[in-house]
Chains A and B, each alone.
Chain A
Amino acid sequence: MKRYALSAAVWVALLAPAALADTLELKDGRIIEDRKMTVKDDGILVHYVNGDLFIPKNLVGEHFAISESGEFTPRTDEEKEKFEKGFVPWKGKWIRKSKWERERKKRKEELAERAKKAKAGRKWINRLKEETANFTFEHTIPEETANEFIDLFEVYFKAFAKHWGVRRGKEPKLRVFFYHDRDYFMQRTNMPSGVLGYFKFFPLDEKELNVYNITNDREYTIDVIFHEVNHYLVNLIDPKFHYPPWVGEGLAEYYGCSKWDPKSKKLTTGHLQPGRLVIIKDEIERGERMSIADLIHMEQATGHHYTWGWALCHFLLETPKYAKKFKKFVLAMSKSRGFEKKDFHSGMLTVGPEETLKQLKKYLKVKSIDDLEKEWHAYVDKQLNVNTARGFENAARMAMRNGLLLRARRYYRKAVETGDASARAYYSYGQSLLYGKSDRKKAQEMFREAIKRAPLNAYAYMELGRLLRRDGKRKEGKRLMQLALEIEPDNESLWFRFEQDLDKS
């Protein structure tokens, strides 16, 4: 008897080569339902009205429902012989057809139940709850994805606790609320668009962290987690002390770009914040170099604390002669009676700018803040440069925000040239090629690359469709635009582009 040591996907393909599946959950939590699907060796082909989309196996989540139709079709003589005797293959064995039908029905029901559960899991009332050594989690993201992030939280906690000598002590475990997408995050928290996550540190006994899974951008999600959790971790140093924003946001950004390896469960720090770096370089170009005194004197958090604050913390933590001293300074700010403190609000204390400058000079053992500043500026000029795909992508995004579209195009091009760029980078590069002296052919190429890497990137289909229409391929273009709307029927922005384009024709 031939043993069938094939993957489940192949087995299903053999059993029913015609269109089968009707619900699919992706690893990022998105659900595609009410579509005919064909299971392939290396993924799933989803049949939309306006075209077929291939979803590679690495994006497919564990849970999917299959509505099986069709019979087993034997391909070899041996298979034909077994089939004629009333046997069919099932999980590596040949079993009677009647048993196979019972098993198939059972599996179908199981899968349908799992698909239903996956969809239901996106409602808060059905949220999953987990508890670890230092956190409690409530979330609507798929379990597999959640487990990876949960590991990250604990490893991060332990690493920070080790670096800074902090302990949770009597502080209750931090409550973490994790949502499956941005819309749901906004609905659950009433936060405005643009907020990626937040750490609520007041009232003191109701601390919580709220974040969401950024679709198609796992790395960005992790960056946000690192940033927000850092606020909690710094808060643990002394919950009744408020660190001035150049430390608070500076450290959050420093840790915000840590790298996390889910396999080895290790994280590394000291990486670059390329988006922030672009803003800094831009400001230097405009002659707006930040001084240490000015940065420290800004007692209300501003964008400068995310950029220059990060750059200062990076310099102090990555320069061997200052690293330990700076850590000591940060800890002493809250713990040492040698620091003159002042009221912040609601019973919390902080340290004013003049006292900070005085103590910083003392702890770092520098002759003057001016000298320190010169070193710092030289560090920013010479040591901090963007060089990874991710880095270039972030830099491009920031350049876009600053209205430098051609610069953004260059950064996107560099990201793509590394060979390691995300689907989003390809898409954005494609868009940037339509500014000014546009290169429509190359833009089309980029949109197609984006689609290859993220087959459910509705925006890429929409833009590609619009371009094709402009180039005279109106039917094909319209098809792609309609396909985009099938993929994301609730996306207002896509509808707007679609209607705009139709109106123009």
Chain B
Amino acid sequence: MLQVLRPLIVGFALTAMGLSTASAQTHENRRWGFSVKAPSSWKQFPVKTGERWIVDKFLCKRAYTSEESYAQKPEMRVIVFPHSRTKRKTGNPSDDKDQDKADEKDEKKKSDQPRQRVYRNYREYLQKTYQDGGYFFIKEEPGEHDGTTIEMLEAKVDKNAHYGKKRIIAWLFHLQDCVVAVDFNCFEAAYKDVKRDCYRSLKSFKLIDRDPELAKEDDSSNRVTAKAEREMTPEERMRYRRDQAEQAIRRVEDTLPDGWYTMRSAHFFAASNASKKFTKKVIKQAEAIRGWLDENLPYVGEDYVPTAILRVCKTTDDENAYRSGSGDSWDSVISEITVSERSWDPRYEMQWIAGLVAGYWFQQRAGQLVEFMPPWLRHGVLGHIATGVVRGKRLVFKPVSWQRDALRTGEREGKILETEPIVKMTAAEFYKAERQAGMTLRTQCASLCTYLFSKRAQSKKKTKNIIQRYFDNLNVVANELIEKTEKKKDKFKMAETEEEELELRKKRRETAKKNARFIVDESYKRTFSDWDGDDWKKLHSSWKRAAL
């Protein structure tokens, strides 16, 4: 039991990093004492929830096209590297006394908290997080700006560059207790146009008074590891998740840039810069899927599913700009579902949302059970839900055209497999079969589950509530296996000779195979104990008639 969590669930320090409090064009940071203006036509853009390094982002209003014909908006970021976070312990008490003091304060220290990434400077940060292509610096000069020591950098992104060659411009401002990096990233094709504005913006950097109260706030996270979360009681877990989600939502609200607004529904919190019509459509879709899950799969798990955040972006560009971050802002609790109104292929955005909402729900509700789901069930149920789209007042499950085509092509090419063998496949067998059958196999599973959830299947004795029965049996079988494995844990020993080592490895592999086999076989046996060959043939042909 984690007693420490009750008194220490403090608000995530939303302004500890000094998020912008001034106009849409200016980042004003009272925590670290500086301000910088973005170019005049650029707009402030939200940073990812949980982001620890980037304190602000701006996007150019206009998108530029690369030599590979992709369009993207130039981006500006403000990144802070506090010395307290970037400085390492040396093991010498005199050097480490401040760090040791900070560690002593935090009594439940590191064992329950996920290890967080440290970037000691901008160059390392770029090396470890920049994924748009291979780059090299063409300019690295020291300088001074308004009494502040700076480094002026420029880099070309020219190798394996995604969507087109790029340019990076960055100035690093060395303040007393941190380094502030202001950088710009744009296509090479846009460089000539935006260069002057970027440099003008960099020169607008100035020091301002700090708010001493902000400096006192604790900017450490109160997240715990997945293991620590699993060890909580269901009630503690519920409280923890709810608090984490609320903190994240408050952070989103507090840092919402101009041009963005929020909407809240029973189970979702949306932050959007897309049209209100589209945002409402997204929320309606998400709620419909959530409602369907709660109503139709109540037997799957029992854990609390916290409010999820929907990030609704106007364009795919915006969505990509939002997603890019420092690589350590992912959180299993604060899950964000991103979608764009003007995406590259808008036909599938609602299905995309359906799949993500379902995945989130399963993960929160029954995280451990999900690990045991055989592939036909995992791809089947999630694949089925991902075809659900709200039409008027109803949620309709209908495969999209490429899925129908995949099945018809599969049928012509003899890649459609009989249903019974698929239901008996372990993951290894499934993915081996998939290498032959291609994506047809997953599509077939999704289509099968669509059929099993349908009125027709529900009206038949053999297939009525078959998915529920399977889940119920899977749950029991999974628990039996967990218990068996727990008992055997104490018997684990280290090999003392190579023969033993080889034998142990063989045993481990066989055990893994056996366990996978056990899950699939027992779930199958207990669910389909009263089925014979004819029943399977009937199911297969009924499904085919419905699907093809």
Pair B138/A125 contact, Cβ less than 8 Å: yes
What interface size band does chain B fall in? 20 to 34
Chain B proximity of A179: nearest CB distance (Å): 10
Chain A proximity of B205: nearest CB distance (Å): 26
Pair B137/A125 contact, Cβ less than 8 Å: yes
A123 CB contacts on chain B under 8 angstroms:
136-137, 140
Pair A286/B506 contact, Cβ less than 8 Å: yes
Report the stretch among B246-254, B282-290, B338-346, B496-504 that lies at the interface: B496-504
Pair B110/A503 contact, Cβ less than 8 Å: yes
Q: Is the interface of B mostly helix, strand, loop or mixed?
A: loop
Pair A189/B496 contact, Cβ less than 8 Å: no
Contact with A along B69-92 (1 / 0, CB 8 A): 000000000000000000011111
Contact with B along A304-330 (1 / 0, CB 8 A): 000000000000000000000000000
Q: Is B127 an interface residue (CB 8 A)?
A: yes
Given contacts A403-B505, A404-B505, contact A189 B134 (CB under 8 A): yes
Q: Is A453 an interface residue (CB 8 A)?
A: no
Which of A286, A481, A495 is B88 in contact with, Cβ under 8 Å?
A495
Contact with A along B117-140 (1 / 0, CB 8 A): 010100010010001111111101
A285 CB contacts on chain B under 8 angstroms:
502
Q: Is A407 an interface residue (CB 8 A)?
A: yes
Given contacts A125-B138, A285-B502, A478-B91, 15 further A-B contacts (CB under 8 A): A123-B137, A123-B140, A183-B127, A190-B132, A190-B159, A190-B161, A406-B498, A407-B498, A407-B502, A482-B90, A482-B91, A485-B88, A490-B120, A490-B124, A498-B91
Contact with A along B140-172 (1 / 0, CB 8 A): 100000000000000000011100000000000
Q: Is B4 an interface residue (CB 8 A)?
A: no
Nearest residue in A to B158 (C-beta to C-beta)?
Answer: A188
Chain B proximity of A197: nearest CB distance (Å): 14
Residue of B91, B132, B498 with most partner-chain A CB within 10 A: B91
Pair A436/B89 contact, Cβ less than 8 Å: no
Nearest residue in B to A505 (C-beta to C-beta)?
Answer: B91
Pair B497/A499 contact, Cβ less than 8 Å: no
Pair A404/B127 contact, Cβ less than 8 Å: no
Q: Is B494 an interface residue (CB 8 A)?
A: yes
7 pairs across A/B with beta carbons < 8 Å? A187-B127, A188-B159, A190-B159, A404-B498, A437-B496, A482-B90, A498-B91
B134 CB contacts on chain A under 8 angstroms:
187-191
In chain A, residues 95-124, which have Cβ atoms closer than 8 Å to a Cβ of chain B?
123-124
A384 CB contacts on chain B under 8 angstroms:
none
Given contacts A189-B159, A285-B502, A405-B501, contact A499 B89 (CB under 8 A): yes
Task: Report the number of A-B residue pairs with Cβ-Cβ less than 8 Å.
Answer: 69
CA distance A407 to B110 in the complex (A): 35
CA distance A125 to B155 in the complex (A): 10
B497 CB contacts on chain A under 8 angstroms:
406
Pair B494/A188 contact, Cβ less than 8 Å: no
Q: Is A60 an interface residue (CB 8 A)?
A: no
A403 CB contacts on chain B under 8 angstroms:
505
Q: Is A410 an interface residue (CB 8 A)?
A: yes
CA distance A358 to B135 in the complex (A): 47
Q: Is A133 an interface residue (CB 8 A)?
A: no
Interface size on A, residues (CB 8 A): 33
Q: Is A378 an interface residue (CB 8 A)?
A: no
Q: Is B495 an interface residue (CB 8 A)?
A: yes
CA distance A482 to B90 in the complex (A): 7
Pair B501/A404 contact, Cβ less than 8 Å: yes
Chain A proximity of B9: nearest CB distance (Å): 25
B501 CB contacts on chain A under 8 angstroms:
404-407
B494 CB contacts on chain A under 8 angstroms:
435-436
Residue of A187, A285, A403, A490 with most partner-chain B CB within 10 A: A187
A410 CB contacts on chain B under 8 angstroms:
498
CA distance A124 to B127 in the complex (A): 15
Pair A190/B160 contact, Cβ less than 8 Å: yes
B138 CB contacts on chain A under 8 angstroms:
125
In chain A, residues 470-491, which have Cβ atoms closer than 8 Å to a Cβ of chain B?
478, 481-482, 485, 490
CA distance A194 to B420 in the complex (A): 40
CA distance A405 to B502 in the complex (A): 10
Contact with A along B88-129 (1 / 0, CB 8 A): 111110000000000000000010000000101000100100
Give the 4 A-B CB pairs with smallest separation, nearest first.
A124-B136, A190-B134, A189-B134, A188-B134
Residue of B92, B131, B133, B498 with most partner-chain A CB within 10 A: B498
Pair B495/A125 contact, Cβ less than 8 Å: no
CA distance A402 to B504 in the complex (A): 13
Residue of B88, B133, B161, B506 with most partner-chain A CB within 10 A: B88
Pair A188/B135 contact, Cβ less than 8 Å: yes
A186 CB contacts on chain B under 8 angstroms:
127
In chain A, residues 253-291, which have Cβ atoms closer than 8 Å to a Cβ of chain B?
285-286
Chain A proximity of B5: nearest CB distance (Å): 22
Residue of A190, A285, A503 with most partner-chain B CB within 10 A: A190
Chain A proximity of B112: nearest CB distance (Å): 14
CA distance A495 to B502 in the complex (A): 34
A1 CB contacts on chain B under 8 angstroms:
none
